[in-house]
Amino acid sequence: MNIGIVKENHVFEGRVAITPANAKVLLKAGHAVFIEAGAGDVSRFSDEDYQRVGARIVYTNEEIYGRANLVVKVAPPKAQDYELMQPEQIIFSPLHLAVARKKWVEILLKKKITAIGVEIIEEDNGSLPVVVPMSEIAGQLAIQVASQYLQTNRGGRGILLGGVPGVPPGIVVILGAGVAGTSAAYAATSLGAQVIILDHNINKLRRIRQNLQRRVFTAVSNEYYIEKAVKFADVLIGAVLVPGERTPTLVTRQMVKSMRPKSLIIDLAIDQGGCVETSRPTTIMDPVFIEENVIHYCLPNMPSAVARTATYAMSNAMLPFLRDIANLSIQKALQMNKTLARGVYTHNGGCTKIHLAEGFGLPFVQLESSLEV
Return the CATH number at 272: 3.40.50.720
The answer to the question of residue 361 being in a domain is yes
In this structure, the answer to whether residues 80 and 137 fall within a common structural domain is: no
d(CA 290, CA 296): 6
The C-alpha angle with vertex 344 and arms to 320 and 54, in degrees rounded to 5, equals 35
pLDDT of residue 215: 86
State whether the Cα torsion 46-48-52-54 is positive or negative. Answer: positive
User: Is 101:266 a contact under the CB 8 Å cutoff?
Assistant: no
List the catalytic residues: 96, 271
pLDDT of residue 23: 97
Model confidence, pTM: 0.91
In the predicted model, residues of the chain with pLDDT beneath 50 are: none
pLDDT of residue 373: 57
pLDDT of residue 139: 96
The answer to the question of residue 239 being in a domain is yes
In this structure, the answer to whether residues 144 and 96 fall within a common structural domain is: no
In this structure, the answer to whether residues 206 and 241 fall within a common structural domain is: yes
What residue type is 173 in one-letter code?
A: V
pLDDT of residue 245: 81
Which one of 300, 318, 334 terminates a domain? 300
The answer to the question of residue 125 being in a domain is no
In this structure, the answer to whether residues 151 and 252 fall within a common structural domain is: yes
Range of 170's domain? 131-300
In this structure, the answer to whether residues 149 and 249 fall within a common structural domain is: yes
The answer to the question of residue 72 being in a domain is yes
With b meaning 16 or more CB within 10 Å and e meaning fewer, what string describes 134-146? Answer: bbbbbbbbbbebb
In this structure, the answer to whether residues 365 and 248 fall within a common structural domain is: no
| Rg of the chain (C-alpha set) | 21
In this structure, the answer to whether residues 311 and 289 fall within a common structural domain is: no
The answer to the question of residue 126 being in a domain is no
CA 264 to chain centre: 21
In this structure, the answer to whether residues 140 and 72 fall within a common structural domain is: no
Q: Which residue from 20, 58, 239, 271 is spatially nearest to 135, judged by alpha carbons? A: 239
Which one of 274, 300, 326 terminates a domain? 300
pLDDT of residue 13: 86
In this structure, the answer to whether residues 137 and 280 fall within a common structural domain is: yes
In this structure, the answer to whether residues 282 and 140 fall within a common structural domain is: yes
Which one of 300, 334, 361 terminates a domain? 300
3-state SS assignment for residue 177: coil
The answer to the question of residue 114 being in a domain is yes
pLDDT of residue 285: 86
pLDDT of residue 241: 85
The answer to the question of residue 59 being in a domain is yes
E-strand stretches of 100-147: 114-117
pLDDT of residue 237: 98
In this structure, the answer to whether residues 264 and 151 fall within a common structural domain is: yes
Instruction: Tell me how many domains the chain contains.
Output: 2
Residues 6 or more apart from 234 whose CB is under 8 A from it?
150, 157, 159, 161, 170, 171, 172, 260, 263, 264
In this structure, the answer to whether residues 146 and 291 fall within a common structural domain is: yes
